[in-house]
Each structure stands twice: as structure tokens, then as C-alpha cells.
A and B are shown apart, each in its own frame.
Chain A
């Protein structure tokens, strides 16, 4: 028996919700509740479900979530909302890269301008082309390229600062260089050690 629109709709939502929530989280960051964004996007689609073909809904769902996320960000922000992103230690891929680094990447991405962030997640997570991203975000292809380039540059600068911060400071081997050690003490006390 052919599936009804409601059945196809439910199937589509159930199948895609994990990825859609990742998109919502990536775009709104800590500026809005990603689950609320996703729920609203799905409800918006439900209202007009009979207009769409639910056998291939991936593009439609993604577009709706992105638009809802950006619309939410355009609203006046009262304060940062509680972070509903997954716990750092719960990440299934945490073994591949430290959870602290993930947290640093998250903070850095959160600080990007909204459209930089949206372009980045659509390009690298959803593997969309520049043309598709431009259409979805209502921009030109050169603009998308600029957003991507600047976003990546900003992230690289932040991460590099972080990596420089966690690298251990080089220390002198005082047994090998005792004189250098005495010189250090001289500097600290301000007097002549001899």
C-alpha cells in the first residue's frame, strides 16, 4: 500500500534529524537553542507538507533548518542560552582528537559571524557546492568564497594561538648549564651572587 504524506513526512524527519540537529547546532552555536530551531523548522514544513515530495526530502529539510537557524539569529538576542550541545566527553569521535581541542574549535566557530559559520558548515559538513550555498544563503558565489576563506582564516588564527598556548615553554637544563641557572637567580634577586 502506498505510504501517506504523514507517514513519509515522519520517516523523513526520523531519518534526517541527527544531521539536521548538527546543522542547527553549528549555525546557532550558543546563541539559540538548536533543538527549538529544529522543532520549529519541522513544524513549519508540517503545516505545508502536502506541497512537497517527501520521498527525497534531504535538500528541503536542510534548507528549512538553515533558514530557521538564520532567522532565529536575526532576532534580538537577550542572552546566551544554555548550551544544549553534546557533552564533550560523550563525543563518539573524541578518541581521534582531544575533547579540549573540540571545545576550542567549538568556541572559535561560535565567535565567527553568522554567515561565515553557516557557509562553513554547509560546505564542509554537508558537502554542498558554492553555487548551492549561495542559493541557500541568498548570496553570490564570490561572497560565499569570501565568507569561507575569512571564516577559515579566523579559525586557523584562533586555533594556532590556542596550540601555542598549550605547548610547553622550553626550559633550560640547569645541570647542563649551571652558569645559566646562576644567571637566572641573579636576575631574580637583583644582587651580585658572588
Chain B
């Protein structure tokens, strides 16, 4: 009856993990000891059965194509989602330009209202436009400070979105 240690040695030999000197010594023993050689053949036969089994697990062409198709579909779906995010972000990038342009006008309007028209209250608004210049949203404020604060918040949000799209951060929560 072969010992566990001997069995492990034979397994290492079949795995190609024997040190060169150990392998030589084992080969000499295999030549001299039929019982040991027989055990090695048993291990080889078991290994062959397992090898046949593992080979039988390989995917056929149809399965391989299906997996590949599913992966590509999921990748396209994710890319579409990223495009939608980017379109929205381009819109917010334009917001700063709109606000800046408006500030120039607001200054003039503000001074007009201060000097002349007491009844009309100044209105400040921020327009969010997409990459084609179409207005996507309008936010109104009753003071320049509030409009500026909104613009700053929007800019910070836009920067976060860009970092997210570039893979620089990972979302753990949807709260900012």
C-alpha cells in the first residue's frame, strides 16, 4: 500500500513540479519498483479521465457566439447611457456661458431699474442650453447673488459628472 507522501510525490511528478534531482531519483525507483509504476499509471488514467471531462466543457461555436453577442449588447447599452449623460452635461456646460452673458445685461438692467423704474423688480434667469443652442431649461432668480450661487453649484455638478464619466470616481450614493 502506497503512502500519502508517495502519492503526492507521484502527483507532483505528473504536474511537472518535481525538482530535477527528485525527478531523477523517482525515475530510478519507477524502473525498479513495479508497484510504484503501477500506482503512477493509475494516477495517469485518472488524470486522463479528468482531462477528457475538462475538454468536454469547452463551449461550442453557438454558445461562444451567444456569450459574445450578449457582452456586446450590454456594452452598447452602457455606451448609450453614457451618451445621454454627456448630452446633458454639454447642456450644463453651456449654462455658464448663458449666465455670464446675462450678467452683462443684468448689470445694465439693474442700473436702469435703480435709477428709473421703481415698480419693476429685476429678474435674473439662467438658461441651460444643449450643444445645439436649444434651451433645455430656465431657472429664474430675484437676485444676482442667487443666480451666481446657482451657476457655481451647476458648475461644480458638471465637474463631478465629468470626473464620473472619466472613471475617476465611483458612485456610492446618489446624494451630493
Contact = CB atoms under 8 A, between A and B. Distances in A.
Interface string A15-57: 0011101100110000000010011001100111000000000
Interface stretch (B43-51, B120-128, B129-137): B43-51
Contact of B51 (A101, A125, A152, A159): A125
Interface residues of A, number: 47
A48 B7 CA distance: 44
Contact of A155 (B7, B46, B60, B72): B46
Contacts of A1: none
B46 A124 contact: no
B67 A38 contact: yes
A22 B17 contact: no
In this complex, the interface size class of chain B, counting residues with CB under 8 Å from chain A, is 35 or more
Chain B interface SS verdict (over half): helix
Contacts of B11: 148-149, 152
B3 interface: no
B52 A43 contact: no
Contacts of B68: 13-14, 17
A73 interface: no
A102 B12 contact: no
B59 A18 contact: yes
Interface string B131-171: 00000000000000000000000000000000000010000
The 7 lowest CB-CB distance pairs between A and B, nearest first, are A22-B57, A91-B56, A21-B59, A125-B54, A105-B53, A25-B57, A22-B58
